[in-house]
Amino acid sequence: MQRRQVLRSTALLGLAGALGAPAFAAGKIRPGARAALIVVDVQNCFLDGGTLAVKGGQ
């Protein structure tokens, strides 16, 4: 395979990916009055042996 063929193929794949992305995009999220966003940050810092260990942290 020659360099020009590789560059052309790469460009075409990039263009196809950019044009095809909206077709697979998720719809907009419309949270209602009862919706909640829950964020869980799992850390071992407060457990025994962690950087911020506390008594009874387990």
pLDDT, tens digit, 9 for 90 and up, residues 22-41: 666 677 888 999 999 999 87
Q: What range does the domain containing 13 cover?
A: 1-24+33-52
In a domain, 14, yes or no: yes
Is residue 13 pLDDT above 70, yes or no? yes
CA separation for the pair 51, 8 (Å, rounded) = 52
Alpha carbon dihedral 36, 41, 47, 53, in 10-degree steps, equals: -110
Q: How many domains does the chain have?
A: 1
User: Is 4 part of a structural domain of the chain?
Assistant: yes
Q: How far apart are CA 11 and CA 13, in angstroms?
A: 5
Residue at token pair 């998720």 = 26
29: its two tokens: 């999220």
Which one-letter amino acid corresponds to residue 46? F
On average, the pLDDT of the chain sits at 79
The answer to whether 57 and 50 have CB atoms below 8 angstroms apart is yes
